[in-house]
Chains A and B, each alone.
Chain A
Amino acid sequence: MLRKPATATQVTHLQRLWLYVVCALVIIFLVAPTLIVIPMSFSDSRYLEFPPEAWSLRWYRAYLDSSEWRQATVVSFKVAGLTMVVATVTGTLAAYGLHVSRAKAGKYVSVLLILPMIIPVILLAVGIFLAFAPVGLNSTIPGLVLAHSVLAIPLVLITVTAGMRNFDINQEMVARSMGASRPWAFLTVTLPQIRNSVMSAALLAFIISLDEVVIALLIAGGDKATLTRRMFLALRDEIDPTIAAISTLLIGLSVVLLALSQFLQSKKN
């Protein structure tokens, strides 16, 4: 650690100690509410309490033993997996199309695609509910996948567009001149080079769907309830530490996926 300034103008760590303290406080303020559920999930108590008086894994057992929670988990993962596929394919194609297009309408199309990220989710949820009602898509897996894809496509679009920026489209042209059809040139030349961005985008799409609750509250009823919806309802009806256990698992998974996504993005395509 640097204690004495090496030159007359150098600032020592001691002199900017206040800055480190402020940063630490900000981080604690941001992260603590999330992390507080982790010790609570290992509590032996019947109620959500902090700090716990005794430790146990009973709430993890309770989660695994409940057929309702298990069913919700299956729904959540099914929807997240399918959303990942739908949003990644559509978002990547959109990013590619907008990248190579010289059309003036391109700008408006990308704004349109990013719109779901900007407007309040509750409005989106109400709109989706009303649109799905007449066609019977509410409380169905395809309905949930479509709704979550709307939320995930903007992130896929942004991530893949960023990855495409470094890609030289001449490579695709040269592949086509050598006899590759356009889709084949995309698959063999373009896609391998934007692969990390696409995979990173796919992980983001998965997390978005897995963590989504507002739309699920409105359109995911009956046996198609997602994990987050069931958690929300459980929280309203009874304070049950099972939720803390599930939350801890979800946080762990999200952190891992997000870290993986960041790692893929930081690696050169």
Chain B
Amino acid sequence: MKSSMTDAGATSVGPAAHAPDTEHSLPISVQSLVKSYGAFRALDNVSIDIRSGEFMTLLGPSGSGKTTLLMVLAGFVRPDSGSVTFGEREILLLPPHKRDIGMVFQNYALFPHMTVAENLAYPLKLRRAGKAEIRDRVERALDLVQLSGLGGRGIHELSGGQRQRVALARAVIFEPRILLMDEPLSALDKNLREQMQIEVRRLHEQLGITTVYVTHDQREALTMSDRIAVINDGRIQQVDEPRDLYEKPSTYFVANFIGETYSLPVEVSGSSVMLFGQPIKTPAPPEHGDRHQALILRPENLHVFEAEPDPGMNSMAGTVRQHVFQGDSIVTYLTVAGDREIAVRRQHRSDETLPAPGS
């Protein structure tokens, strides 16, 4: 794995690969958005194109600007400059209630003074749907999120997972063509969260609605998304499919943020890369000519050998510090080149012996 330490800045993406299905979803185009709070730039010239029907995740640490971007799309934050279009339509000057978007918040934001069915009926009543139609669609929405028969329940009688499902159903029942979600699963415990990730993904595939999903959980982003936009300091670092993002991070920040990584300094001259004075083989020649760059290592791609390995492999000498047992895997921490720490992860097998610490 090889990554350069340069800042590529905002990455723009080409036009949609497939024909937009504007009946159920709309593409979103964000151009040069800027939003400042005093001296703080929450959004610093953000541009991104989201395809119709795509599941796009905005991933970043807290304070990175991902929620601000979502709130601009929803209409609750007005940017200083820039442009946002849903399909052909510029929507920046439209108030939230005229944007026709479904929204799911982290704390569900269900209406506690209404029953489940009344919550679901709320957007339909606003659209002046008839009584029979409302009953029909509420029932279908409950089926969709596997809560059939719970329409008469009060919100307080529901479990966390059920509340999340109601919030989801309410956000899509009026068939908006864009769905925005702000860390919707972060209040759930781990098992339920993983179950809901699959559920949300299934719902997305069923409805084909353009979905923008905000999270700080990289595993969640990798699991659910068609593409991920990594955001930091109000800038988009990289927009890519989960696998490309993981394997070919384009900035140092992305490499560090996604997955577990260790970086080692390398010297680049021309097409050769030197690690601690030894030449190493790279899958592709370095793209940038800078002399000092970083080699990004992922623990699961490394192996520990007690004997000198095959000379065709990249290798370096190190001292084993510690083994940490993590159930399904064992992580070995090593020191290389005197003071640099790296880690190697391997599948756990009960019959193996590990190199003793200090060797």
Which residues of A does B touch, CB under 8 Å? Answer: 168, 170-171, 173-182, 184-185, 188-189, 192-193
Contact = CB atoms under 8 A, between A and B. Distances in A.
Interface stretch (B13-21, B119-127, B318-326, B336-344): B119-127
A76 B127 CA distance: 45
**Which 4 pairs of residues, A with B, have the shortest CB-CB distance?**
A178-B123, A177-B103, A170-B109, A174-B109
B105 interface: yes
Contacts of A180: 97, 122, 126
A175 B114 CA distance: 13
A193 B107 contact: no
B61 interface: no
A192 B122 contact: no
B163 interface: no
Contacts of B75: 176-177
Given A168-B107, A170-B105, A170-B107, A177 B97 contact: yes
18 contacts: A168-B109, A171-B109, A173-B96, A173-B103, A175-B122, A176-B76, A176-B97, A177-B97, A177-B102, A178-B97, A178-B102, A179-B100, A179-B123, A179-B127, A180-B122, A181-B95, A181-B97, A193-B112
Interface residues of B, number: 27
Nearest to A193: B113
B105 A174 contact: yes
Contacts of B333: none
B76 A173 contact: yes
Interface of B: 74-76, 95-103, 105, 107, 109-113, 122-123, 126-127, 170-171, 174, 180
A193 B109 CA distance: 13
Given A192-B113, A193-B112, A193-B113, A176 B107 contact: no
Given A173-B96, A173-B103, A178 B109 contact: no
A179 B126 contact: yes
Contacts of A185: 97
Contacts of B170: 174, 178
Nearest to B113: A192
B97 A179 contact: yes
A91 B102 CA distance: 33
A185 B95 CA distance: 13
A176 B113 contact: no
B79 to A, nearest CB: 16
A80 B131 CA distance: 42
A173 B110 CA distance: 11
A192 B111 CA distance: 10
Given A170-B107, A171-B111, A177 B74 contact: yes
Nearest to A167: B112
Nearest to A174: B109
Contacts of B97: 176-182, 185
A266 B113 CA distance: 17
A173 B96 CA distance: 8
Interface centre among A179, A185, A188 (most CB of B within 10 A): A179
A48 to B, nearest CB: 51
Contact of A178 (B107, B110, B122): B122
Nearest to A171: B109
A137 B103 CA distance: 50
Contact of B96 (A171, A177, A184): A177
A173 B109 contact: yes
A44 B70 CA distance: 76
Contacts of A171: 109-111
A184 B100 CA distance: 16
A189 B111 contact: yes
A189 B103 CA distance: 16
A215 B111 CA distance: 43
A101 to B, nearest CB: 14
Contacts of B174: 178-179
B340 to A, nearest CB: 46
Nearest to B98: A179
A188 B109 CA distance: 14
Given A168-B107, A170-B107, A177 B112 contact: no
Contacts of B127: 179
Contacts of B126: 178-180, 184
Nearest to B99: A177
B156 to A, nearest CB: 10
A173 B112 contact: no
Nearest to B37: A102
Contacts of B96: 173, 176-177
